[in-house]
Structure 1
Amino acid sequence: MFEVPVSSTKIDFIYLSEPDMIAAGVTDMAACVDTMEEMFGLLYHGDYRMAGPTNNSHGAIIVFPENSPFPDMPKPTPDRRYMAMPAYLGGRFRTAGVKWYGSNIANREKGLPRSILMFILNDVDTGAPLAIMSANLLSAYRTGAVPGVGARHLARKDSRVVGILGPGVMARTSLAAFMATCPMIDTVKVKGRGEKSLAAFVSWVRATYPQITTVQTVDTIEEVMQGSDIVTFCQSGAIGDPSQYPMVRREWIKPGTFLSMPSLTDVDEGMQASDIRKVLDNPAMYEAGFEECEKPAHRWVPVVGMRYLDLVAEGRVDRDTLEDLGKIVAGEAPGRTNDDEIIILSVGGMSVEDVAWGTVIYRNAIARGIGTSLNLWNEPALR
């Protein structure tokens, strides 16, 4: 439908709205988990590139100062930023792309998502655009799918109870991925700040997963963790003060728990011990971010993997104890080895994930005739 002869100078691309993305399969979580698993294999073997001098930067970010001489400049309210996340991914994907977004937690007061995202996918040979996509669902599902990859390799196969902090979008997609990889789950415990968001999440769980027979709202992080086989922190919040980040305390966790942490997280001394398996979704990305940040880096990058790198720098954690999820997925390091291991996975989010899932959705759209064809030019005015 949208193909142009290779010899032509004409460049068409497709625009995919959010409804188009849904029609092309962006909410197919089982397929997304499989795609992320494939991506991790390529990541581990080095068939990718991201931003920065080491090709491992999370992206390029614009943040705003506390005090500016320009009265119209935005203020640094929570989650107020603009960011570009470029990447190339090889294998069967062999595409490049960039996710661009603006974010402001105050959007919720306007009935909008915290972040509003777009994604551009490019032909890796010419650099021509292949697609411009609505990317909120793309990003949400690839973010949730990574915990699903983690659960496939690191959670107990008989996991039944999931504890969730934060009943938002990330909680929904993470739970969807857990359900795709741990089908015995029958109980969910959730803690949130607002009754409205909690009620909406509970209703969604009951409507979407009738096999989940118990959905319980709890009042404390301790209750989220106690007795859970899988724990995930999915809340949003201000960064800069790690003392305000939610804490994982070892005394609250039973043997065999898998913790998937894509959001603000701190750990107590017990969770720093050598017998806790500490897995990062891409150690090289954390190391690149650590070099870029003012120390302690956990102030500015609030995921638990960065906290562990701060502890390495302080001599309190051995760098060799930090594991690589890609190496586990590639079969070159063990996944879960027994039913009593406590394993914590840091999920930082990577642009290669957007490229992987965006490429699959683009190819689905082409095959299904979905999207609006747009013309860049028939012949370029400048060559």
Structure 2
Amino acid sequence: MSENTKIDFIYLSEQDMIKAGVTDMPRCVDTMEDMFKLLYTGDYRMAGENNDSHGAMVTFPENPEFATMPRHTPDRRLMAMPAYLGGDYQTCGVKWYGSNIANREKGLPRSILMLILNDVETGAPLAYMSANLLSAYRTGAVPGVGARYLARKDSKVIGLLGPGVMGKTSVAAFMAVCPDIDTIKIKGRGEKSLNDFTNWLSKTFPQITNVKVVNSLEEVVKDADIVTYCNSGETGDISSYPEIKREWVKAGAFISMPAYCRLDEELEKPDVRKVLDNPGLYDAWFSEVPKPAHQYIPIIGVRFLDMVEEGLIEKSELEDLGKIVSGAAPARTNEDEIIILSVGGLPVEDVAWATKIYRNALKNKIGVTLNLWDTPELR
């Protein structure tokens, strides 16, 4: 029997990704929920010794020895995020991206991302796809999963810091699972980003009839059922991270934190539930950097591990979103508990959503077929 060695794969531009459904937030939330169940059962792999690493990152020095080497600027890095996901997915892939906050001065996104999806048996490419929208929607969908299980069902008010891409996708995910939301309070850095956000909001979610631009973090948080900080900035000086104080927080609030922040001592107390999107991710991060780790990795879950290291809390107090989604741990238990979700970002999320989009693209003949080879020269 003759061998079939031909390998074709599809290329999906950003417009192809949109046609294939990458901006379908309700479906993305459902996909992330399904993925969290696989995480809890262990049917996945990421990089690193514990198979839970965020990825491998190239950073640049403040003062390069070589004139041609890029110099460190805020958020400048090159990064690869590989993962395998089992269940009905049975695919692997890697998101590769370059990031530099100075891109915005050129009219470009801060990060420019691509994803290659591979057959798990042969390693052959299945698709090479634009990944900015894919990454943005899977990032926003995770807070949506959190809200589905941890926010009050009657949530009506969102408090948002940072009306950028992450702010938009987080709001879209909250709307997918909390349809009674009718009010949003927003704090941003500039008029342009605020106007862009409010225009998007009016077109996308006209049912949000009460939109307030506020000037302080306290106003963002106060009386909000769902609070989220989606801002960006420099790491290193923890005192510069935007704070959230318990005295501002409404009883029963769900606090989703996919960006850098710090809590006051009252919010760090044991009666505030602390949920991680994937505990192994934080273990991997914590093993990679000096302590306190929160100054290097500003996600609030890393602060929680600093607290464990300092003897302020027990590690058993940190909850696993996958365990909650799988029904092995309680979701919201009463109307007054305050719950914080730390969102770190997982390569398996990219692979999950990329697989759904790839299969839909194949079904609907979207994208450009490219040939790797008919017969490889070297075997």
- What range is the shorter-chain TM-score in? over 0.9
- The CA deviation at 1:127 is 0.3
Please tell me whether residue 263 in structure 1 is matched to residue 259 in structure 2: yes
- The CA deviation at 1:368 is 0.2
Residue 78 of structure 2: which of 78, 82, 88 is its match? 82
- The CA deviation at 1:275 is 0.2
Structure 2 Cα separation of the partners of residues 294 and 365 of structure 1 = 44
Structure 1 Cα separation of the partners of residues 6 and 87 of structure 2 = 27
Deviation by residue 1:45-71 (Cα, 9 ceiling, x = unmatched) = 000000011101100000111222111
Aligned to 2:246: 250
Deviation by residue 1:74-113 (Cα, 9 ceiling, x = unmatched) = 1111000000000000000000000000000010010000
Q: 5+ unaligned residues in a row in structure 1: which ranges?
A: 1-5
Structure 2 Cα separation of the partners of residues 65 and 240 of structure 1 = 15
Query: Aligned-pair RMSD on alpha carbons?
Result: 1.0
Structure 2 Cα separation of the partners of residues 74 and 259 of structure 1 = 37
Aligned to 1:284: 280
Aligned to 2:108: 112
Q: What's the secondary structure of 1:88's corresponding residue?
A: strand
Deviation by residue 1:164-214 (Cα, 9 ceiling, x = unmatched) = 000000000000000000000000000000111001101111111111010
Structure 1 Cα separation of the partners of residues 352 and 12 of structure 2 = 16
Residue 152 of structure 1: which of 137, 148, 152 is its match? 148
Please tell me whether residue 121 in structure 1 is matched to residue 117 in structure 2: yes
Q: What's the secondary structure of 1:305's corresponding residue?
A: helix
Moved more, 311-320 or 45-54: 311-320
CA contact (8 A) 2:31 2:352 kept: yes
Deviation by residue 1:246-284 (Cα, 9 ceiling, x = unmatched) = 111111101000000000011110111000000000011
Aligned to 2:31: 35
Structure 1 Cα separation of the partners of residues 338 and 3 of structure 2 = 57
Residue 181 of structure 2: which of 177, 185, 209 is its match? 185
Aligned to 1:305: 301
Structure 2 Cα separation of the partners of residues 285 and 277 of structure 1 = 19
How many percent identity over aligned positions? 68
Tell me the amino acid that sits aligned with residue 330 of structure 1.
S
CA contact (8 A) 2:64 2:70 kept: no
Aligned to 2:190: 194
Alignment of 1:1-383 (within 5 A): 7-383=3-379
Superposition TM-score, scaled by structure 1 size: 0.98
Structure 2 Cα separation of the partners of residues 374 and 136 of structure 1 = 21
Moved more, 60-69 or 226-235: 60-69
Structure 2 Cα separation of the partners of residues 169 and 369 of structure 1 = 29
Q: 5+ unaligned residues in a row in structure 2: which ranges?
A: none
Moved more, 239-248 or 179-188: 239-248
- Post-superposition, which runs of at least 4 consecutive aligned residues in structure 1 deviate over 3 A? none
Structure 2 Cα separation of the partners of residues 21 and 144 of structure 1 = 17
Deviation by residue 1:139-163 (Cα, 9 ceiling, x = unmatched) = 0000000000000000000000000
- The CA deviation at 1:7 is 4.5
Structure 1 Cα separation of the partners of residues 97 and 28 of structure 2 = 21
Superposition TM-score, scaled by structure 2 size: 0.99
